[in-house]
Amino acid sequence: ACGLCRSRTNTVFGVGDEKAEWMIVGEAPGQEEDQRGEPFVGQAGRLLDSMLAAIDLSRQKNVYIANVLKCRPPGNRNPEPLEVDRCSSFLERQIALVQPKLIVAMGRFAAQTLLRTDASIASLRGKRFSYQGVATVVTYHPAYLLRNLPDKAKSWEDLCFARETLAVQQAAAS
């Protein structure tokens, strides 16, 4: 739906359990993702997998992972507003089909796109939002954490907050 189809190798649609309660939303495929057609398989992806494993989640078992953009922006530049705009309906539909109980938006582009805000990650962390009725929380992007290791502790707090959000919701429903 945008010009990125001309430079991509593969569309990177999503991966994981299509009935997952947890859905992770990132920004856009990088080089390795573009080569392999799977989200978060590079260095940031390995960090994501190990963070998820710490709370007993994995793409093989119980989490679904997708990005705002399905094609790699050349040179890993930031997504452009038009690209986000054109691609959003695919993410919307993925969320509607998977019907997660919780969305974790990782990084500025995921958070700002889903929550329709231009607020910073720092100001969005630690709060519960709703995206089309699905509880949504915000944390740093794993690629950012690789460059800012001390913030890993905050990201861990965010994952614990996400887990608690889901538990509170399930307790209220039972």
Which residues sit at the interface with ligand URA, rule CB under 6 A? 26-30, 33, 39-40, 42, 44-45, 67, 143
Q: How far is the CB of 14 from ligand URA (least distance, A)?
A: 10
Calculate the alpha carbon distances from 83 to 74, 110, 120 in Å.
12, 13, 20
Q: How far is the CB of 33 from ligand URA (least distance, A)?
A: 4
CA distance 25 to 138: 10
Residue closer to ligand URA (CB basis): 10 or 169: 10
DSSP strands (E only) in 13-160: 14-16, 22-26, 63-67, 102-106, 129-131, 134-139
* Burial of 118 (C-beta count, 10 Å sphere; 0-12/13-18/19+): exposed
Residue closer to ligand URA (CB basis): 35 or 169: 35
Q: How far is the CB of 69 from ligand URA (least distance, A)?
A: 8
Residue closer to ligand URA (CB basis): 120 or 170: 120
Tokens of residue 173, six digits:
């429903």
Calculate the alpha carbon distances from 151 to 49, 91, 128, 143 in Å.
17, 27, 20, 11
Residue closer to ligand URA (CB basis): 16 or 42: 42
- Look at residue 135 and give its three-state secondary structure: strand
Q: How far is the CB of 40 from ligand URA (least distance, A)?
A: 4
Residue closer to ligand URA (CB basis): 4 or 44: 44
162 phi/psi in degrees, rounded to 5: -65, -45
Q: How far is the CB of 57 from ligand URA (least distance, A)?
A: 16
